[in-house]
Structure 1
C-alpha cells in the first residue's frame, strides 16, 4: 500500500509501450471513421491522464497522431468527393475531423505548458519543441480549414491561440527550425512556415470557393510557401499585416497599423510568377510532378482555383466592379432551377419554399444579403436563386458567389445578379419532329449583358449539346438557337451561350 502511494507509474493503459503499439496496430484499416473515432477516444482520455512523464505523454500523442493521418486523409477524400453524401454522413465526417484537430491542439498545448512550468522531467521535451510547435500550429490551421468547409464562423479565440503559439515558438528560438512534420513527407516545414500558410489561406478569400476547391487552394498555397515574404518589418512589398497577440485575423495593409512589437507583415512575394507558370502548364494539360494536389484533378477544376489565387495575390487587391450602396430591405428568395423556372413561368410558389432574406447592400452587379434563418442544406457557392425585392413586381435571377456562416442559424451571402428579366421557355432540339409528343426542355432565356444576336440559356444539367440547335417560342416569335459554348454548371443547372435567330413564322 505504501509502495503504491509513491509509485510514479500511471494507470492509463497507453502508459505501457506494448499496449500503445497494440492499440495502434488494431486501428481498423478498412474503416477510416472508426479508426479516427478510436484515436479521439484515446485523446480524450489522455487529456486528464495522470502520472505520465512529460516526454512520455508527448511521445504517446505523437504516435497516435501519426497513426491517424492516413485515416484522416481518407475521411477528407470522402467528405470532399463522395458524390451522394447524405447530410447526416457529411456532418459526421466534419465533426470527427474538427474534433481530432481540436483535441490534438489541446494535447500539444498541454505538453508545452508542462515544459514551461518546469515540471520534473520536462527538460526532456526540449529537443522536441520544434516539432511540437509546428504540429500545434498545423492543428490550428486544420481547424480553420474545416470551419471554412462549412463557411465559418471562426471565433477570434482561434486566432489568438494560433498567434500565441507562433510567438511562443519565436521566444523559444525554434520558430524557423526546418523538419519533417510527419514520416513519409517529402518537404520540410517549420512553425513559422505553418503560421504563414494559415495567414495566406485566410488572405485568399476562400468564401467564394467550393470545399473541394478550398482543399486545392490550400495545397497550392503549400506549394508556393517558400515564395512568400514574412517578417516583423513593413517593406514596399508588404501586402498584409497581423498582430499575433490580438484575437484578429490578418488584414490588407492599406495604411500602417499602430506600432507594436508583435506586428508581422507578409506578402505573396514571387508566388504570382509561380502561379503564372502553373497556369500555363495546366492549360497545356500538365501538372508538374513537384506539385502535390493530393489526387488527380481535371484542368477545368484546377484552373479556376489558380486564377482565383492569382487575383487575390496580386499587389493591387481586386476591385469591385460596381459600387455598393447600403440598404435594408427584404428579399423573397426561392432556390434551384425548378423553383426559378416556376417563378418566371408566372406560377406562384406552391410548396412554401420561399424564404425571406435581408438585403444589406446592393450594386449593379448584385446583392449582399443576410440569411437570418438557415433552412435545409441547399445554400452553397453556386446555388441558383430567383429573388424579388420588397415592393417590386419583378423577379431577378442570381447565383451565390460568396458564403459565410455567422452562426449555426445565420449566414451572409454575396449574390451575383445574372438577369433582371428571364423568359421561361420550352426548348426543343431542332432535329425533333414538330409533331413529336416528347416533352420539351425547360429553360430560361437571359439577354442581360449579351452581345447583339446572342443569348444565355439556363437549363437542367447535361442539356447542352454543341451539335444540337434548339428552338422555342418566346415573345410571340419563333427562335432558333445555335450553340456556342457552356459558361457555367451548378448542381441542378447549366448556363450556355447561343446565337439567336428570330422569325415571325
Structure 2
C-alpha cells in the first residue's frame, strides 16, 4: 500500500540527473502507450531547453541516453506515417507535428551544448561534441524530409544552421570521426561528414516530383551509401558534380561542368562512386539477383527510382531532366475529375458520342448552308451550336467535377495554383480527367509535381498522358472478364483507359489500369464499342498508388 505513494522527503528522480536516473525514469514510463514515448521524451528535453537543467557532462549523458532509447519508438512513429499516407488530414497533421516536435527539441538541446563548446572553454563537454553534431545533422535531415513530404521548402535560416554546424565539426577536427550514431540501432558507422552529405543530396531531390515513400527510400539509400562520397576543399574543373558554400544560406548546388568561381568556404564532391553503387543495385534488381541485397533495396518501385536517381546524379547528366517545351502563361478554365471509375465513365461517354455520325453531319450541314447563302457562318448558327454543345456536355457529364484555373500551359501539360484546403485530396501521381474550356472531350492526365508557393496555396504540375483516350474493358483471352468474381460467382468487368501512340506525347501504345489488373507479359483482350484487340502487357511506364500505365504490344 505504501509503495504507491512518494514519501514527502524523497524527491522523484530527475531523468536528466545522470544515466541511472534516466534509466529509472525510462523503466517507469514503459507501462504507458509505446506511441507516447517520443512525446514524453520531448517534454523532458523541453525542460532542458528551458534552462531548468544545467548543461553539464551528467545532463548530457542523460540527454543522449534518452535520445538513444527513444529511437525505436520514434522510427515506429515515422513508419506509421509513411504507411498511412491516405490517413485523415487531422490524423496526418497530429502525427506530422509529433515527429517534428521531437526533432525540433533535440536539435535545440544539442545546439545549446554545441554553442557552449564553441563560445567558451568547456573541455568537459568535448567528448560529446562529434556525436552531438552528427545527431543534430540527423535530426535536421528529419525536419527537412518531413517538410518535403508536404512539398515545403526549408527556410534560409535552416540551411544556415546546417552549414554552420558542419563547419564547426571541421574547425574542431571531428568531421570525419567514425562512430555509431545510436547504440540501440545496429547500423554501420557514420560521421558528421556522412550526415552532412546525406542531408545535402536529399535536398537535390526536393523538386516536388517524388512521393513521400520515394523520398524516404532515397534517404535510406543515402544512409547506406553516403560514405562513398568524399568532400574536397579545392574546386577542380570537371571533377565534381555538387558543391556547397558553408558561409551561405542554401543547400548543395549542381556544378555545370565548367570552371566555377570557388566559394569562400566551398566544399565539393563527385557522385561517381555513389552512382556506381546505385547501378550495381539496379542491375541486381533487374536481373532478379536480390538475395545479397539489403531489405532497403527490395521495395516496390525500387528499380524505377534507382533509374531516376542515376539519371539525376550521374556525372554525365545535368541534374533534373530538361523540359520538352517552355511554359506559356495562360488563364483558362479546366474541368477536373478524379478516380479511375469516374474518369472511365466520362471517357466512355466521349467515345460513344464521337462515334455518332448523325451529330457531326448535322453540325457540318448547318455551317455549309450558311456559307452557301451568306458566305460566312451566322451568329445564330453559332449560338445553336453552343447550346447543342452545352446540352451534350450536360448529358455526358455524370457526377461532380471541379473547375480549376490553369496558369500556364506547355506541350504535354498544364500548371495550376490551387487552394490547399479545397484540394487536400490531391496527391503526387494522382490520376485526373481534364476538360479544357471550349472543348467537349476529356483528356487523361496525372499530377507530376506539387509545391507550396504561398500560405494556403500549392502549385500542381500536370502531365497529359492522352488527348484522346479510349475507355476499354479488360478481358482474359479465354473470354472471361478480368476484374475477379462477385459474391454470386459472376465475372466482373475490369476497366482501363487505352492510350494510342498518336494521342500522347510519349508516342507509345499503353493501358492505364488498376494495379491489381497488371501483370507483365499477360495476354488480354481490350474491348471498346464492340471492337476487340488482343494485346500483351509489357513494362510499366508510370504508376500511382492504385494504378499503373503499362506499354502494350499487339498479341498475334
Q: TM-score, normalised by structure 1?
A: 0.84
Contact (CA 8 Å) 1:14, 1:60: kept in 2 or not?
Answer: yes
Question: In structure 2, what is the equivalent of residue 33 of structure 1?
Answer: 35
Question: In structure 2, what is the equivalent of residue 91 of structure 1?
Answer: 93
Contact (CA 8 Å) 1:333, 1:357: kept in 2 or not?
Answer: no
Question: In structure 2, what is the equivalent of residue 262 of structure 1?
Answer: 265
Matched, 1:397 2:444: yes
Q: CA deviation at 1:431?
A: 4.4
Aligned residue among 281, 286, 289 for 1:283:
286
Question: In structure 2, what is the equivalent of residue 5 of structure 1?
Answer: none
Q: CA deviation at 1:195?
A: 0.8
SS where residue 405 of structure 1 aligns? strand
Q: Deviations over 1:414-455 (max 9, x none)?
A: 322211111234555564589x9976443322113589x984
SS where residue 151 of structure 2 aligns? coil
Judged with a 3 Å threshold, the aligned counterparts in structure 2 of structure 1 residues 43 and 455 are, in CA distance, closer, same or farther, namely: same
Structure 1 residues 62-77: aligned runs within 5 Å = 62-77=64-79
Aligned residue among 245, 250, 253 for 2:247:
245
Q: CA deviation at 1:36?
A: 1.1
Q: CA deviation at 1:111?
A: 0.8
Contact (CA 8 Å) 1:399, 1:418: kept in 2 or not?
Answer: yes
Matched, 1:415 2:418: no
How many pairs does the alignment contain?
Answer: 483
Matched, 1:360 2:408: yes
Measure, in 2, the Cα distance between the counterparts of 1:407 and 1:438. 49
SS where residue 270 of structure 1 aligns? helix
Matched, 1:101 2:103: yes
Contact (CA 8 Å) 1:486, 1:494: kept in 2 or not?
Answer: no
Measure, in 2, the Cα distance between the counterparts of 1:351 and 1:12. 62
Matched, 1:448 2:524: no
Question: In structure 1, what is the equivalent of residue 371 of structure 2?
Answer: none
Q: Give the number of the structure whose residues are more often helix, by fraction.
A: 2
Judged with a 3 Å threshold, the aligned counterparts in structure 2 of structure 1 residues 323 and 473 are, in CA distance, closer, same or farther, namely: closer
Structure 2 residues not aligned, in runs of 5+:
1-10, 351-394, 482-488
Judged with a 3 Å threshold, the aligned counterparts in structure 2 of structure 1 residues 340 and 359 are, in CA distance, closer, same or farther, namely: farther
Aligned residue among 61, 68, 86 for 1:59:
61
SS where residue 356 of structure 1 aligns? strand
Contact (CA 8 Å) 2:290, 2:298: kept in 1 or not?
Answer: no
Measure, in 2, the Cα distance between the counterparts of 1:366 and 1:412. 13
Q: CA deviation at 1:146?
A: 1.6
Structure 1 residues 90-129: aligned runs within 5 Å = 90-118=92-120, 122-129=122-129
Q: CA deviation at 1:392?
A: 4.2
SS where residue 517 of structure 2 aligns? coil
Structure 1 residues 272-351: aligned runs within 5 Å = 272-287=275-290, 289=292, 291=294, 293=296, 297-298=298-299, 300-315=300-315, 316-317=317-318, 318-320=320-322, 322-330=324-332, 331-344=334-347, 345-346=349-350, 351=399
Question: In structure 2, what is the equivalent of residue 495 of structure 1?
Answer: 549
Structure 1 residues not aligned, in runs of 5+:
1-9
Judged with a 3 Å threshold, the aligned counterparts in structure 2 of structure 1 residues 214 and 433 are, in CA distance, closer, same or farther, namely: closer
Contact (CA 8 Å) 1:455, 1:500: kept in 2 or not?
Answer: no
Matched, 1:189 2:175: no
Judged with a 3 Å threshold, the aligned counterparts in structure 2 of structure 1 residues 29 and 381 are, in CA distance, closer, same or farther, namely: farther
Mean Cα displacement is larger for which, 281-290 or 126-135? 281-290
Question: In structure 1, what is the equivalent of residue 47 of structure 2?
Answer: 45
Aligned residue among 453, 466, 469 for 2:524:
469
Measure, in 1, the Cα distance between the counterparts of 2:456 and 2:188. 41
Q: CA deviation at 1:70?
A: 0.7
Question: In structure 2, what is the equivalent of residue 141 of structure 1?
Answer: 141
Question: In structure 2, what is the equivalent of residue 198 of structure 1?
Answer: 199
Judged with a 3 Å threshold, the aligned counterparts in structure 2 of structure 1 residues 289 and 95 are, in CA distance, closer, same or farther, namely: farther
Contact (CA 8 Å) 2:536, 2:554: kept in 1 or not?
Answer: no
Measure, in 2, the Cα distance between the counterparts of 1:250 and 1:83. 28
Judged with a 3 Å threshold, the aligned counterparts in structure 2 of structure 1 residues 83 and 266 are, in CA distance, closer, same or farther, namely: closer
Q: CA deviation at 1:231?
A: 2.0
Contact (CA 8 Å) 1:395, 1:420: kept in 2 or not?
Answer: yes
Contact (CA 8 Å) 2:164, 2:246: kept in 1 or not?
Answer: yes
Rg larger in 1 or in 2?
2
